[in-house]
Chain A
């Protein structure tokens, strides 16, 4: 079964849609969640939450790419769970590192923004990522979207961990400048 067929199941309200989506993209979603969460049970629950959300939202959202849509729902579910954990349970993984790196370019006293600002920010960040050279774009996505470990990213890109870290810092500095220029913050 392909994307179109699974989406057709969603649109027609066929309960087998979730099982088919899981069969197609379950492991992809698990790999997304397991970069953020340590406990396999949490990972499974996040994937289940994502599939449930997809069941409720796909008919209206009409995603063009079902896999990417499910991955995003899984990432959101995993991050929500991650944020509810204590520092000890978070386990000091790549997600914690990513939050800490991002924390370097925003004010420590900054407040969360509403959905509209976040949406606008996403569009600007998409534009920023498109402007990055290929290697940096991949690394940025690996680290800040997929929360892959710097060691894995280094291995994937044939770099050292220090090099990955340095590159991330440089990209974030660029992003900070980009966002300041566009009036997102001072």
Chain B
């Protein structure tokens, strides 16, 4: 007997022991009133216009229509979900429990990559992104829902809202799919903890399945920061792609101290690696000399902020300071 025989025999075990098809049904027919739309010439035109605005490298896939600029009424701080009401931020910082029926992206690490956008409309720092955002919040990524030609949709739980009015669960649109991703980063996965700057996503003219409460990340899909902890238990946010940080610096929008150091980032990577090895590997790649690598944004290297600093900035923005 050899290993092949045992692996094959495991494949033939009783179906009820491995069957997860019922749990995966919704990946084919996503919840929330999924509705497939027809891809028409109008969509081709939209894509062509969008394509003229972007710098595309590699497989040359890239994006889409304008982010919605509607600014909602002054920020409203909502109570976080009831179960985490006591200390929603602390609860958010805890590693997520992954249920047995969690749905993961079929392809986590696409081969193709796309780069950022030259359109100044998308070049937003933390302050301008906050001002233009429909919502700014801490989320935990949950089930993979579906993908379209330019994007992937994930369910996400909302753990703390800095701006906007949000339900407990939203749908997060990531500008990536099984064929490409921004700067070759992996797709999100269940349990990722993010600070996100969001616009409502209500442009469904892409032949995609419709999801309710959908939001797209600003700054051309890169308006998110990952949460991580150092060995001493201090809390940090990592702007892996670095574009929103780059705009913040160039526009002199806010004074945020970049905490990046080789030692700290290796501790943060170690923390992330315990929960998401693929993400840890990707962040590790961005720690190399970023201006000289092809798959990271030129001149917009990764930045690391203490959670406290960012929280303070966002709270100041809420107060209008």
Residues on A with C-beta less than 8 A from B107 are 30, 34, 40, 43
Whole-angstrom distance between the alpha carbons of A65 and B25 in the complex?
A: 13
For residue B15, CB closer than 8 A to chain A, the reply is yes
Classify chain B's interface size.
Answer: 35 or more
Cα distance A185–B9 when bound, in Å? 15
Q: In the complex, how many angstroms separate the beta carbon of B272 from the nearest chain A beta carbon?
A: 10
Q: Which residue of A lies closest to B97 (CB)?
A: A158
User: Considering only CB atoms, which chain B residue lies closest to A142 in the complex?
Assistant: B100
- Select A141's contact among B6, B18, B21, B178, beta carbons within 8 Å: B18
Which residues from chain A contact B48 at a C-beta distance below 8 Å? Answer: none
A89 contacts across to B, CB distance below 8 A: none
Question: Is there an interface contact between B3 and A102, defined as CB atoms closer than 8 Å?
Answer: yes
Q: Report the count of interface residues on A (CB-CB < 8 A).
A: 65
C-alpha gap A112/B8 in the complex (Å): 10
Contact B15 A130 (CB under 8 A): no
Are B18 and A122 in contact, CB atoms less than 8 angstroms apart?
Answer: no
Across the interface, which residues of A come within 8 angstroms of B6, CB to CB?
102, 105-106, 121, 125
Known: A25-B21, A43-B107, A126-B17. A155 touches B1 (CB 8 A): no
Q: Are A71 and B12 in contact (CB under 8 A)?
A: no
CB of A27 to closest CB in B, whole Å: 4
A-side interface mostly: helix
* Contact between A71 and B276, CB atoms less than 8 A apart: no
Residues on A with C-beta less than 8 A from B95 are 155, 158
- Assembled-state Cα–Cα distance A23/B36 (Å): 12
Q: Are B11 and A72 in contact (CB under 8 A)?
A: yes
Instruction: Tell me whether A9 is interfacial, beta carbon within 8 Å.
Output: no
A152 to B4: give the CA distance in the assembly, Å. Answer: 24
Tell me the bound Cα distance from A43 to B107 in angstroms. 9
A55 at the interface (CB under 8 A from B): no
Closest to A27 in B: B27
Asked whether B111 is an interface residue with its Cβ less than 8 Å from the other chain, the reply is yes
Choose among A113, A126, A137 the residue that contacts B14 (Cβ–Cβ < 8 A). A126
Give A102-147 interface residues, CB cut-off 8 Å to B: 102-103, 105-107, 110-113, 117-119, 121-122, 125-126, 129-130, 137-138, 141, 144-146
Interface residue? B35 (CB, 8 A): no
Binding site for A on B (CB under 8 A): 1-22, 24-25, 27-29, 95-100, 102, 104, 106-107, 110-111, 178-179, 189-191, 273-278
Q: Can you list 18 pairs linking A and B with CB atoms under 8 Å apart?
A: A25-B21, A27-B24, A27-B28, A27-B106, A30-B107, A65-B21, A68-B18, A76-B11, A79-B7, A79-B8, A107-B2, A110-B3, A125-B9, A125-B10, A125-B13, A144-B7, A151-B277, A155-B95
